[in-house]
Amino acid sequence: MFDAEKIWNSPQLPTLPAVAVRLLELSRSPETELKQIVDLIKTDPAITARILQATNSSFFSFNTKVNSIERAVTLLGTTVITSLSLSFSLADESISSGPMQDFYLDYWKQSIINAVAGEAIGKRCQPGLECEYFMAGLLVDIGRLAMLKAISREYYPVLVTYESQERQLFKVEHEFLGLDHSLVSGKLIEKWGLPAPMVQGIRLQHFSTQTLFDELTPGKHDMEAAIVLSNAVGDYFNSSSSGLAIQRIREISSHFFGMDGVEVDRFLEEIHERMEAAGNLFDVDMSDIDSPSEIMSQANQQLLELTMRARSETLLASEQKMQFEREKQLLVSQNEVLQQKATTDTLTGAYNRAYFDEAFESTIRDASARSLPVCVIFCDIDKFKLLNDTFGHKFGDDVLRQFAEVFRRSLRAADVFCRYGGEEFVVIVHRPTEKGVEKLTERIRDAIEQEDFMHLNERVPVTASFGTTIMMPGRQDNDCGEEILKQADEALYESKEKGRNQAHHRCLINAQERELIKAVNNLKFSRWLVSNEILDIMAVSRILLQVPADQRSLGQLAVDFKMMDYEQVDQLTMAQKASPRKRIGDMALEMGFLTPENLHLLLCWQCEPPDRLMNSMTANNLFSEKRSRELYSQYRKSIMSTMAIAQ
C-alpha cells in the first residue's frame, strides 16, 4: 500500500513565495490599503512584470495601455491582483521538461479551463467576486501538480493508465495509490490558509451528485458548488470522460444555479471563447481544445455506449445474482445443518460443551472490556443413575429431553443453555444481577420439581441441584473463567452434600465492584422506566433482548461525549501497556481524566445504549415514536441534572 506521508514529507511540494503568502494575508484584512498591496508587489519584480503583462492582455481588454503597477492595482482591485499573483506563482511551479512534460501541460490546461469556468459561474451568482471563483477553479486540481512533483515515479503509471484506458483519473489514482488528487488539493489549500468553502469544494469535487445535493444548499454554498462544477467543465473539455462530465455539468448547474439545457450550452461556449485569452496569461497554447459542439457529439456517443454497456451488464448481473442467490441459499441451508450438528446436543437440543466453551470465553472477553459481571449456573439431575437403573436408559433419555425443555422455558432468549456432560447442564446468564440469579435459579428448581415425568402412566419425582457463581473479570484476567467454573461446581457439590434439590450461590464481586455495578445500573434508561412506573420489569426485559451493546471503546465514547480528548486516550493506552491487568476506566479515574460520575455514565451507555432502547420501544409498538423520544428526553434531563457533564 502506498504511504501518503511520502507526499506530505516531500521537499518538492508546491509552495507559495513570500509575496503570495503576504498578499493572501493582506487580502483577508478589511483594513488593507491599496498602497500596501502596491508596495508588496514591487518587492518581487517578476510578479510585477507578469501582472502588468496580464493587465494589458486581451483577457482584461482595457482600452488604454497600463504602464504602472499602481494603475494596475487600481483597475483590477486587490482580490484580482492576489489571485493573479498566486496563479503566476503556481504556474512557474508547473513548468517541466522531460518525460513528464506532457502531463504537466495537461494539468495546466485543465487548471486554466477550471479557472475560466469558475469565473463564469462567479459572474452569475456573485458579480464582482468572480476573480475569487477564478482562483478557486485554478486550485481545484493543485493536488495533481503536487503528485507530479512529489511522487513522479509512483504517479507516472497512474497517468499512463488513465490515458490508455479512458477512465476517470481519480478512480485510477485510488486503484494505484489508495487516494486521489482532491485529498492532496484539500490539504494544501487548508495549509495555505485559504477560505473554508474553497477547501470544502475541492474535497467534494468527485463526490456523487446525490451526496452534493445532500451536503450543499443552493444559494448558501455557491463557492463549493462552483468549484465542483468548474472541475466537471475541465473534465468535459480536457479528458476522455466527456460523456460523464456533461451529465454531471447538467445536473449540478440545474440544481445549484438554475441553468437549463440552453443556458448550459451558452455557458460552455462562453468558456471556450475565454479560454485562449486565459491561456495567453500563462503562456499556454489552448488552440487544440475542441469546441463544445465537437465535444458534444463525442460525449453523446460515449453516453450511448455507456448506457448500452450498463444495460448489458445489468442483465448479466441480474442472471448472475439469481444464480448466486440460489447457490448461497443452498450453502446457507447446508451450513445451518452442519452448524447445528457441530454446536447442538442431539438428544436434548441444548447447545453442547464445545459451544459453551466458545460462548463462555467470548462472554469473559466482553465483560472484561466493559466492566460487566459474568454468571454461570451449574445444574445436575439428582440421583440420575438410580433413575436409569430403576426405569431403564430409555426413560433416562426421556427425562433428559423433558428436563432440558423445562429448563429452556424458564430462561430468557439471551441466556445460553448447554448440556455440559451426562446429566449436568450449565447456563451463561445474560446481564446478571445477584438477586436476579437467585430468583432465576429458584424458578428453574421449582419448575423441575413440579414437572410431571411419567413412566407407564405413573409420575416419577425428578429434582435437580444447582450451584451458581457471579464475578466481574478484571482486564486480561485469563484465569477468571476457570475460577468461575470451579466455584460454581463447588457450590453445586455443596447443594448435593446438603440434601439435593436446592441451590447455593457464590458471589466473587468485591465491595468496590458492587458499588460500581449499582451506580451504573441506577443510570440505565431501563431502570428509569421501571422506577417511574412507565414499564414493568417483564416488558423492559423483553425489549432489552433487542438492544445491542455499543461497540465503541470506553476511550472513544469518552471522546464522543467530550469528556476526554484523543491525547488523553493515547496517554491511557500507553499507561495500560505498563499495567495490562488494570481496567481502563480505573486508570482514567487515577489519572484524573474522568470523574466517577463520568465513568458510570460511559459504562451505562456501553452496555445499554438508551437511544437504542428508545428505538426498540417504538419498534415493539410500546409507544409511538414521538412518545418514545419524549421519554428519552425526560430520562436524559433527569440524569444530567445530577451530573456536571457538558453534552
pLDDT digits 0-9 by tens, 216-241: 999 899 999 999 999 999 988 888 77
Cβ atoms within 10 Å, residue 422: 11
Residue 461 falls within a domain, yes or no? yes
Long-range contacts, stretch 537-540, CB < 8 angstroms, 24+ apart: 539/622
Q: What is the pTM of this model?
A: 0.49
481/395 same-domain check: yes
| Position with higher pLDDT, 337 vs 550 | 550
Do the beta carbons of residue 181 and residue 143 sit within 8 Å?
yes
Cβ-proximal residues to 95 (8 Å cutoff; 6+ apart), any chain: 104
Tens digits of per-residue pLDDT, 23-52? 777 777 777 787 888 888 888 887 788 888
489/536 same-domain check: no
452/561 same-domain check: no
Q: Is residue 344 predicted with pLDDT exceeding 70?
A: yes
122/153 same-domain check: yes
Residue 251's pLDDT is what? 92
| CATH number, residue 192 | 1.10.3210.10
Do the beta carbons of residue 38 and residue 26 sit within 8 Å?
no
505/370 same-domain check: yes
381/457 same-domain check: yes
Residue 2 falls within a domain, yes or no? no
Last residue of a domain, one of 272, 289, 306: 289
428/496 same-domain check: yes
| CATH number, residue 470 | 3.30.70.270
Last residue of a domain, one of 509, 539, 572: 509
150/262 same-domain check: yes
Q: β-strand 458-460 against 464-471: which pairing, if any?
A: unpaired
557/620 same-domain check: yes
Residue 647's pLDDT is what? 41
- Quote the number of domains for the chain: 4
Cα separation of 115 and 83, whole Å? Answer: 11
121/264 same-domain check: yes
280/146 same-domain check: yes
Which amino acid belongs to residue 611?
A: D
Confidence of residue 340 (pLDDT cuts 50, 70, 90): low
Q: Can you tell me which residue has the cell 514591487?
A: 42
505/532 same-domain check: no
**What proportion of the chain, given as a percentage, has pLDDT over 90?**
33
Question: Which range scores top for mean pLDDT: 296-300, 352-356, 489-493?
Answer: 489-493
Do the beta carbons of residue 473 and residue 368 sit within 8 Å?
yes
Boundaries of domain holding 71: 14-93
Cβ-proximal residues to 186 (8 Å cutoff; 6+ apart), any chain: 143, 199, 202, 203
Q: Average of pLDDT values for 354-370?
A: 89
Phi, psi of 398 (to 5 degrees): -65, -40
